[in-house]
Amino acid sequence: MHFAFVSIPAYGHVNPTLPLVAELVRRGHRVTYFTSADFEPRIRNAGADFLASGGNWLASLPGLGPGQRAQANLMLPVMNQVFEDIRSSFPALVDRLRQDPPDAVCFDAMTLSGSMAAEKIGAPPIALMPTYATNEHFSLRSLMPAPPPGSADDMAKVRMAMGRLLAEFAAEQGVRTPRMFDGPPAPFNIVFIPREFQPKGETFDDRFRFVGPSVGGRDIDGEWTRERTGPLLFISLGTTPLNRQPDFFKMCLDAFGGSDWDVAMAVGEQTSMAELGTIPSNVRIRPFFPQLQVLRQAAVFITHAGMNSTMEALYYAVPMLAVPQQPEQAATARRLEELGLGRHLAAEDVAPEALRAAVDSLHTDAGVWRNVAAMSNIVRNAGGAVAAAEAIEAHVRHGASRFGNVG
């Protein structure tokens, strides 16, 4: 069979799909992957054909200070850029899919063009969900904190404007408006977290297949070897410009420099070494580390609690200290505490002393280690890429006659 994959240009959305792509190719299927050109090497490494579609608009997002939320004045230009990208890239995406019709379009649930393209060409749509799923009983919106005083009306206007632009574009294309937060984005949905981590997981029916994360297929991330003894502390706030936090990284140097911790700290491409000052001898800093290789050996992970990083840490049974930067990450940080898998530091509580105390406590908390080991077992047995590939094959072979966007 031939499968088309469509994703927004974000590591947290592309990376979870790559083991699935590799598994489909291993089974003899053909995969064509559409996203921005930045991701071509890793997609080809997974065995897919690559076709550039859209630009990497995420790279132009502004950085935010600790605890800052994306405000309306920041979201409006980003939203307009997203829709300009859709308008310019969508016709070429549809033309290419018509020239080489897929048996299904597998689209990232946040990729607005994915379900519209599937409907436009008459192919079964399959949503790929790297974070929490949404059904009639649970919505990600329910986990979001209330907006700051005075900003609720502005953000409501942004959501209304986004909904209007999306509805207008869908109408122009003669397709239905895609769902994002008000129900399942497709009749069949692959979710890259285990059901046990999903809030209200018991309410999700057979429209959803919870397969958990898959690791592997990331050799392109580079090499890394340890140079010191002592427990390994990994620190990373993810890959987007929103996570540019030089002050936070300096606090980590104050907290762990000269300690018994062997520290690997990923600061991203937006933070320069000059901003961080003197680097202690027990700390190694890079823009990015090969995360999977580091997590295999880490004793504690200080993370922004992005879902991709969270699932990879759980796969390797690493307790987490969550320092979320955005509302969805704050929701996952709370989920980690609810399940006894880590701790959560709010932005206003982040300080060198608090970081050191939380990390030392996690490292010696037998209850957290038991919970993390149990969840690691669940994550590893959720099925991963093999279960996802089997589910997609079965859906296309036996359920394609029933496809169509959820109305």
Torsion 283-286-287-293 (CA) sign: negative
| Strands 188-191 and 283-286, sheet pairing | unpaired
Question: What's 221-380's CATH class?
Answer: alpha beta
- CB 342, CB 362: distance < 8 Å: yes
CA atoms of 7 and 18, how far apart (whole Å):
11
Q: What is the CA radius of gyration of the chain?
A: 21
**Which tokens is 371 given?**
């919970």
What's the pLDDT tens digit per position in 292-339?
999 999 999 999 999 999 999 999 999 999 999 888 889 999 999 999
Query: 57-71, 92-106, 163-177: which has the minimum mean pLDDT?
Result: 57-71
**Which tokens is 223 given?**
């090499």
Work out the number of other CB atoms within 10 angstroms of the CB of residue 365: 16
What's the pLDDT tens digit per position in 336-393?
999 999 999 988 899 999 999 999 999 999 999 999 999 999 999 999 999 999 999 9
CA atoms of 344 and 308, how far apart (whole Å):
17
Query: 149-158, 199-208, 286-295: which has the minimum mean pLDDT?
Result: 149-158
H-helix or E-strand containing 15? none
pTM attached to this predicted model: 0.88
What pLDDT sits at residue 65? 47
Local confidence band at 238 (pLDDT 50, 70, 90 cut-offs): confident
What pLDDT sits at residue 333? 95
Q: Do domains 2-212+382-402 and 221-380 have the same CATH topology?
A: yes
Right CATH for 2-212+382-402 from 3.30.230.10, 3.40.50.2000, 3.40.50.880, 3.40.50.360: 3.40.50.2000
What pLDDT sits at residue 187? 93
CA atoms of 293 and 99, how far apart (whole Å):
40
Express as a percent the part of the chain with pLDDT over 70.
85
Order of strands, sheet of 300-303, starting from the edge strand that comes earlier in the sequence = 283-286, 262-266, 232-236, 300-303, 320-322, 342-344
**pLDDT of 151 strictly over 60:** no
CA atoms of 179 and 286, how far apart (whole Å):
38
Domain positions in the chain: 2-212+382-402, 221-380
- CB 392, CB 190: distance < 8 Å: yes
